[in-house]
Amino acid sequence: MLRILKRIKRHVEWRYGRILLKPPKIMGRRLRIFFRDGSFMDVRYPRRGEYSLHWQKGGIIIRIDTAPHHPHISTFPRHMNYLSEKNVIEDKVTVLMGNPVSNVDRFIDFLIRNKFIT
């Protein structure tokens, strides 16, 4: 897990350095990414196929994870909490057994494309 977080950290610094407030920091079992607009993202990747990508700015959250809480969602176990904890929708951003770095890229690019990170 630590190896995955270190790889993601290096990649994020390289690819998204222009929008980072400061270097990402490994904090226990997660990587925290600090964006210039005041938002942050926590990445947890305990093992391939299990992850949580949580972005937050103030009280607004967007999180994609694989916790098996929503079997009615067509992308189960992947789901997205969109704008709040209560609004659960399909995850059309990440790939369940996809490369962890690629999944983080997909999520950050989704946030930029939809103007959540400015």
Note the pLDDT tens digit of each residue in 86-96: 999 999 999 99
Complete DSSP assignment for the chain: -HHHHHHHHHHHHHHHGGGEEEEEEEETTEEEEEETTS-EEEEEEEETTEEEEEEEETTEEEEEE--S--TTSTTTT-EEEESSSS-EE---S--TTS-HHHHHHHHHHHHHHTTS--
User: What is the pTM assigned to this prediction?
Assistant: 0.94
CA pair distance 82, 50, nearest whole angstrom: 19
| pLDDT score, position 7 | 96
Boundaries of every domain in the chain = 2-113
Note the pLDDT tens digit of each residue in 25-53: 999 999 999 999 999 999 999 887 899 99
Res. 1: pLDDT tops 90: no
Res. 112: pLDDT tops 90: yes
Mean pLDDT over the full length of the chain:
95
